[in-house]
């Protein structure tokens, strides 16, 4: 009987394959550089399948990963089995909720890569997740995370439309092509979130052989809202960027990337 949260069950199956095909996902060098500069041990909240966690561990930096999805953590644990022993020894995995997780350790670096804070749907949950991060920071420790920059024309349009987002060859059978489609189902402009579906389709010889759908809900933030959350949670901005190439966070931003410290 599974005991953990079963969210991301289908996404877990396709996560690494799908994101290996996402060529514009340029966050890894940013988080890796930060981990090399600051050193470990690192705490990653919402570590998923270890997409960022494992490359950090491979640099010889100790890292603790927390996630509340049992399927995502199962993928990570399976990957750790085939890692070199000295890399696997760098990693500790915890099943926990980023709103309530507490350990008795403090870290020089806490990271929340690739928008898990967008799975926090209320101010209370957003505050709780940032408090978890702040709680685990050493006095001079650094928190880094990213969420998408809200492009309102895009957010407010396309409801009910299906979009092909990603396509890749099945790594275990090169005769199969897998696709991930995205369909926004509804938008809550007041609470700043949307509900959507990921539709995974597998094709072989031009025929559709599998179709699986998983719901997705994401909140989105405005910059002043994040600034208010930082005030509430005792955090202050050290660096902020609008892209992983470290472009300024201005009207052309694609992402909101923050490096924060505990406020003095």
Ligand X SMILES: C[S@@+](CC[C@H](N)C(=O)[O-])C[C@H]1O[C@@H](n2cnc3c(N)ncnc32)[C@H](O)[C@@H]1O
Q: Which CB, 148 or 203, lies closer to ligand X?
A: 148
Q: Does 69 bind ligand X (CB under 6 A)?
A: yes
Burial class (CB in 10 A: 0-12, 13-18, 19+), 104: exposed
Site for ligand X (CB under 6 A): which residue of 42, 47, 147, 218?
A: 47
Considering only CA atoms, give the Rg of the chain.
Answer: 19
Q: Does 7 bind ligand X (CB under 6 A)?
A: yes
Distances, alpha carbon 22 to alpha carbons 15, 25, 176, 251, in Å:
11, 6, 18, 24
Q: Does 240 bind ligand X (CB under 6 A)?
A: no
Q: How far is the CB of 67 from ligand X (least distance, A)?
A: 4
Q: Does 198 bind ligand X (CB under 6 A)?
A: no
Using alpha carbons, select from 146, 158, 145 the residue that is nearest to residue 194. Answer: 158
Q: Which CB, 13 or 176, lies closer to ligand X?
A: 13
Q: How far is the CB of 72 from ligand X (least distance, A)?
A: 4
Q: How far is the CB of 148 from ligand X (least distance, A)?
A: 11
Measured from each CB, the residue nearest to ligand X is: 48
Q: Which CB, 68 or 179, lies closer to ligand X?
A: 68
Q: Does 115 bind ligand X (CB under 6 A)?
A: yes
147: which DSSP letter? E
Tokens of 69: 């999805």
Interface region with ligand X, contact rule CB under 6 A, candidates 56-64, 107-115, 160-168, 251-259: 107-115
Q: How far is the CB of 22 from ligand X (least distance, A)?
A: 11
Q: Does 261 bind ligand X (CB under 6 A)?
A: no
Q: Does 68 bind ligand X (CB under 6 A)?
A: yes
Q: Does 48 bind ligand X (CB under 6 A)?
A: yes
If DSSP codes are grouped into helix, strand and coil, which group holds residue 35?
helix
Q: Which CB, 50 or 141, lies closer to ligand X?
A: 50
Q: Which residues lie below 8 Å from residue 206, measured CB to CB, with a gap of 6+?
A: none
Q: How far is the CB of 52 from ligand X (least distance, A)?
A: 5
Site for ligand X (CB under 6 A): which residue of 98, 134, 143, 259?
A: 98
If DSSP codes are grouped into helix, strand and coil, which group holds residue 221?
coil
Distances, alpha carbon 171 to alpha carbons 25, 66, 163, 177, in Å:
19, 27, 23, 9
What is the C-alpha to C-alpha distance for residues 188 and 193, in angstroms, rounded to an integer?
5
What is the C-alpha to C-alpha distance for residues 50 and 56, in angstroms, rounded to an integer?
9
What residues does 177 pair with on adjacent strands?
169, 203
For ligand X (CB under 6 A), the number of binding residues is: 19
Name the helix (H) or strand (E) containing 155. Answer: helix 152-155
Binding site for ligand X (CB under 6 A): 7-8, 46-48, 51-52, 67-69, 72, 97-99, 113-116, 119
């Amino acid at each position: 009987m599974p005991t953990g949260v079963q969210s991301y069950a289908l996404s877990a199956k396709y996560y690494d394959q799908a994101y290996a095909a996402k060529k514009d996902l340029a966050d890894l060098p940013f988080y890796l550089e930060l981990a090399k500069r600051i050193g470990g041990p690192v705490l990653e909240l919402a570590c998923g399948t270890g997409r960022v966690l494992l490359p950090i561990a491979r640099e010889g930096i100790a890292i603790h990963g927390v996630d509340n999805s049992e399927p995502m953590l199962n993928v990570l644990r399976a990957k750790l089995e085939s890692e070199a022993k000295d890399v696997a020894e760098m990693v500790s995995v915890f099943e926990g909720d980023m709103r309530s997780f507490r350990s008795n350790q403090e870290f020089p670096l806490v990271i929340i890569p690739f928008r898990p804070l967008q799975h926090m749907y209320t101010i209370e949950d957003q505050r709780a997740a940032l408090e978890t991060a702040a709680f685990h920071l050493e006095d001079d420790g650094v928190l880094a995370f990213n969420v998408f920059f809200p492009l309102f024309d895009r957010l407010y349009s396309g409801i009910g439309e299906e979009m092909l987002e990603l396509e890749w060859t099945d790594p275990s059978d090169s005769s199969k092509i897998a696709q991930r489609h995205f369909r926004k189902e509804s938008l809550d402009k007041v609470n700043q979130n949307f509900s959507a579906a990921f539709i995974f389709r597998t094709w072989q010889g031009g025929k559709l052989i599998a179709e699986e759908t998983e719901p997705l809900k994401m909140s989105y933030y405005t910059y002043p809202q994040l600034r208010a959350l930082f005030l509430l949670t005792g955090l202050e901005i050290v660096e902020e960027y609008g892209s992983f190439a470290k472009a300024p966070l201005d009207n052309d931003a694609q992402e909101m990337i923050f490096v924060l410290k505990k406020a003095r």
